[in-house]
Amino acid sequence: MEELYSVFAQEAREQLSAMEDGLLRMEQGDHDSETLNAIFRAAHTIKGASGVVELHHIEKFTHILENLLDKLRNEEIEVSPELITALLKGCDHIGTLLDRVDQGLMDEDAGLQQAGEVTADVLRGFTNMQVADSTAMMPDASVGTVERAGGETAISDCWHVSIRFGRDVLKMGMEPLAFLRYLLNLGEIVHLETLCDALPPAADMDPECCYLGFEITLRSHASKEQIENVFAFCRDECELHILPPNSKVADFLGLIEHLPEEPMRLGEILVKSGALTQEELDVGLRRQEAATKIAEATEQVPPQIGEILVEKKMVQPELVEAAAAKQKQVADKKSAESRLIRVQADKLDQLIDLVGELVIAGASANLLAQKSKQGNLVEATSVLSRLVENIRDSALQLRMVQIGETFNRFNRVVRDVSKELGKDIELVISGAETELDKSVVEKIGDPLMHLVRNAMDHGIEPAAVRAAAGKPERGRVELNAFHDSGSIVIEVVDDGGGLNAEKIQAKAIEKGIIQPGQTLSEQEIVNLIFEAGFSTMEKVTNLSGRGVGMDVVKRNIQALRGTVDVKTELGVGSRFVIRLPLTLAIIDGFLTSVDNAAYVIPLDSVVECLELRDDDTRGHMLNLRGEVLPFIRLREFFDVEGAPPPRENVVVIAAGGRKAGIVVDQLLGEFQTVIKPLGSLFKHLRGIGGSTILGSGEVALILDVQALTHLATQSEERRTQPRHALLAEERE
Amino acid sequence: MTEFATQTTTDGAVHLILDGPMTIYTAGEIKAQLLDGIANAAIVEIDLSHVGEMDTAGFQLLVMAKREAQRLDRTLRIVAHSPAVREVIDFYNMDAFFGDPMVIPADH
């Protein structure tokens, strides 16, 4: 049962985010009716699903939202920013209710209920507002123009019961006939239509399964509950829709949407939903046939049945639209259903773990095969290891998700925050299709949120200041994502005022983070904002600026083995660059050795390898075809004893847009590396990112390329820095 | 148990007489019998006058048989209905689908 609720909550969230997306697009001037329809459908789905899992408070609230959307769709009310805000608030409330469901609480508490009432009242306010003018102004388009002949008006005074029995009802000892006959106790069955469409061909038909569905027109004074209760015993086994008499168009629309049938013809859909009578359809079809003949003769496009029906005023255009959408949806859904399956995340983790072990075991088998020098065995193991490689890649691919979903959440954030701040800010997203590990995506949301809010609050200046500086009044925040040498880069860019290095330095001194005499490069000063307890903004707003953000951001990102950097230019803007490893589990490595110990360098960051020649080096710099390349000797760095071999090698690595060399004794080639995290004991170890186990069972250390590049270039920066300081002092 | 009797009439039609209940309990064997009958003759006549009981599973079998016959381009006729059968087909409003004349007894 709990699983049911969590699936419901998850799916409802997806619908909710679709609604939110649509609403935001509408606010930005998207008047496409399909957008509104999509929002309506999403709301309707939430309502339906919450009813099924018996979360009636959600159902009730969504119903209010849906009513308003319906009015909007019928163009009875106008889109206004206030309306969108109210609808978004409604979405938020549903989100909060879903949170409670996630916590296993099936009811709403008093506070939430009250909040819900307030939001609902606002929504109702919008809904009712139009009722007054629309009834006066509109000659009720939905009823007036649709004329039905004679006795058929009586049919619309009846209940419409649509039921599809589940496959297993017969096996469970339930008899559809008995349920349907019981309906006679409630009233008169005016018409009953048996649907056998689901009945498979004779060979595939299981005689003990039920394939039937029924559309029933019932004249009765019973309440909806009473009718529903007739089917109480099989309620869980069947799909039941009950439409009240004089059903509103919206209800028909809902029904069309929920018809579970096989691909159908448009007319059938309408007839089945009760929006159209069979006679009307027949008339329409005859007309279509005639028109097609004419069209063939004159070589015109034959008219669609939907057009004819609308033209003949047999059915409302929106119903045809919905039915046509359903038609398409049935086809789409069929393919989508087979394309998507939900899998529990821990099952996936388990798979990745196993694949990791497989990679290690495979490497070991490979090694033994090579030692044995048996050609056949070597061949077999090499095929095997290629397959293992493929399995590894696809297993990791399973965990990859696009970052777009995370990014899109920020549309809403930017909208709300910019309203709150009274600034006009647009969000530009690029690289939404960039993929990264799901566990990373989950954890990157909060730090990103902080950076975006920060950019809007502190980065973007008020409109007046912007205008004075000759910038467009509308501020701009960008979210970019792209792949770069084995890691993913996420940027938060704003075109605001940029960071003021002097101010930061003064502040840092004031806060005691640095000493007054300390000399720092500009980059180091700017990076001080990531220190704990730092805030430059005099005014503390409720968005950011309590000084508890940036250091937390940095810590969160470091926990993901990532880095965060800031590049800024005063008056032009800032760019926060987050760099994250692509996956957390397995990488392609490049195996090297120093003395007897093996070291793995992530292959993605390796640019080239070359022999170290003494005449090319000066200190810790290397002349790489005229380019200056700082390098680190692993032998020195890790204090490895023993003399270096006569010929050393340099592995050129690139990270964060900077290149560095790593000097090792030997190059051993490519190696699939399963990352085993180092224990907390080694947390402070610099330059090592993890460990792995070689095929021989030996342990190899994985080098932290980011850190090493940083160290190599930084030590260079350090060496040049004091000279600047010295010059400055001399001048004074 | 439901019993089957098969006769071949003079015009080459297979005359299939079902005697016993047409319910979920007998659905499996009736399905096989019906399909067998359809497969072997161009015209199949089903006599249901001895079917004392029919439920939805039994009804589905008739629908299936009718469809299968159409698919194979055979003729399938229900030549006699017991009150139980008539009642079900009537309730499900499927007389038109089968298109067989139903003899309504005078006392009905």
Q: Are A198 and A261 in contact (CB under 8 A)?
A: yes
What is the 8-class DSSP label of residue A300? -
State yes or no: pLDDT of A319 exceeds 70. Answer: no
Identify the CATH number of the domain defined by range A153-247: 3.30.70.260
Q: Does A343 touch chain B (CB under 8 A)?
A: no
Q: Do B31 and A205 touch (CB under 8 A)?
A: yes
Q: Do B30 and A207 touch (CB under 8 A)?
A: yes
Which residues lie closer than 8 Å to A424 by C-beta, 6 or more apart?
A: A418, A463, A473, A474, A475
Residue A651 pairs with which residues in a beta bridge? A609, A662
The order of strands in the sheet holding A563-569 is: A425-430, A475-484, A487-494, A573-581, A563-569
Q: Does A163 touch chain B (CB under 8 A)?
A: no
State yes or no: pLDDT of A6 exceeds 60. Answer: yes
Nearest-angstrom CA–CA distance, A248 and A271: 15
Q: Do A180 and B91 touch (CB under 8 A)?
A: yes
Confidence of residue B100 (pLDDT cuts 50, 70, 90): confident
Q: Does A212 touch chain B (CB under 8 A)?
A: yes
Query: A193: which chain B residues are within 8 Å (Cβ-Cβ)?
Result: 93
Q: What is the ipTM of this complex?
A: 0.86
Q: Does B93 touch chain A (CB under 8 A)?
A: yes
What is the 8-class DSSP label of residue A235? G
**Mutate: best of A164, A169, A170, A172, partner B, most B CBs <10 A:** A170
pLDDT of residue A270: 62
Which residues lie closer than 8 Å to A29 by C-beta, 6 or more apart?
A: none
Closest CA–CA distance from residue A197 to any residue of chain B (Å) = 11
Contacts 24+ apart (CB under 8 A), A107-110: A107/A57, A108/A57
Closest CA–CA distance from residue A182 to any residue of chain B (Å) = 12
Given the candidates 3.30.2420.10, 1.10.10.10, 1.10.3720.10, 1.20.120.160, the CATH classification of the domain at A2-131 is: 1.20.120.160
Q: Are A372 and A364 in contact (CB under 8 A)?
A: no
Q: Does B84 touch chain A (CB under 8 A)?
A: no
* Residue A506, H or E segment: helix A501-510
Q: Do A199 and B63 touch (CB under 8 A)?
A: yes
Q: Does A204 touch chain B (CB under 8 A)?
A: no
Closest CA–CA distance from residue A281 to any residue of chain B (Å) = 18
Q: Do B56 and A176 touch (CB under 8 A)?
A: yes
Q: Which residue has the higher pLDDT, A282 or A375?
A: A375
Q: Backbone dihedral region of A43: left (phi > 0), alpha (psi from -120 to 50 degrees) or beta?
A: alpha
pLDDT of residue A479: 92
Looking at chain A, the whole-number percentage of residues with pLDDT higher than 70 is: 76
What is the 8-class DSSP label of residue A595? T
Location of structure tokens 């590990």: A437
Q: Which residue has the higher pLDDT, A312 or A432?
A: A432
Mention the CATH class of domain A420-570. alpha beta
**Pick from B60, B53, B98: which is nearest to A214 by CA?**
B60
Q: Do A207 and B61 touch (CB under 8 A)?
A: yes
Q: Quick one: tokens of A218?
A: 């019932």
Mention the CATH class of domain A586-719. mainly beta
Q: Does B30 touch chain A (CB under 8 A)?
A: yes
pLDDT of residue A265: 58
What is the 8-class DSSP label of residue A185? T
Rounded to the nearest 10 degrees, how much is the dihedral formed by the CA atoms of A559, A561, A567, A568? -10
Question: Averaging pLDDT over each range in A296-305, A373-382, A707-716, A720-729, which range is the top one?
Answer: A373-382
**Mutate: best of A208, A211, A215, A216, partner B, most B CBs <10 A:** A208
Q: Quick one: tokens of A374?
A: 């048996």
Measured in degrees and rounded to the nearest 5, phi and psi for residue A651 equal -105, 120
Q: Does A538 touch chain B (CB under 8 A)?
A: no
Q: Do B28 and A207 touch (CB under 8 A)?
A: yes
Confidence of residue A491 (pLDDT cuts 50, 70, 90): very high
State yes or no: pLDDT of A131 exceeds 60. Answer: no
C-alpha distance from residue B93 to each of A131, A274, A449, B38 (Å): 42, 17, 61, 24
Domain boundaries, chain B: 25-98
pLDDT of residue A111: 79
State yes or no: pLDDT of B32 exceeds 70. Answer: yes
Name the residue in chain B with its Cα closest to that of A200: B64
pLDDT of residue A592: 92
Residue type, A221: H
C-alpha distance from residue A291 to each of A281, A295, A586 (Å): 15, 6, 64
Query: B30: which chain A residues are within 8 Å (Cβ-Cβ)?
Result: 207
Neighbours of A221 (CB within 10 A): 9
Instruction: Identify which of B30, B88, B93 has the shortest CB distance to residue A193.
Output: B93
Q: Which residue has the higher pLDDT, A83 or A714?
A: A83
Closest CA–CA distance from residue A202 to any residue of chain B (Å) = 6
What is the 8-class DSSP label of residue A9? H
Instruction: Identify which of A181, A196, A207 has the shortest CB distance to residue B57.
Output: A207
Q: Does A643 touch chain B (CB under 8 A)?
A: no
With H, G, I as helix, E, B as strand and everything else as coil, classify residue A166: coil
> Whole-model pTM?
0.46
Number of cross-chain residue pairs from A and B with Cβ atoms under 8 Å apart: 62
Helix residue ranges per DSSP H, A243-374: 249-258, 266-273, 278-298, 305-311, 317-339, 345-372
Q: Do A177 and B55 touch (CB under 8 A)?
A: yes
At the fourth CATH level, which superfamily is domain B25-98?
STAS domain (3.30.750.24)
Q: Does A193 touch chain B (CB under 8 A)?
A: yes
Q: Does B64 touch chain A (CB under 8 A)?
A: yes
Residue type, B18: L
Number of H-type helices and E-type strands within chain A: 24, 22
Q: Does A175 touch chain B (CB under 8 A)?
A: yes
Closest CA–CA distance from residue B89 to any residue of chain A (Å) = 10
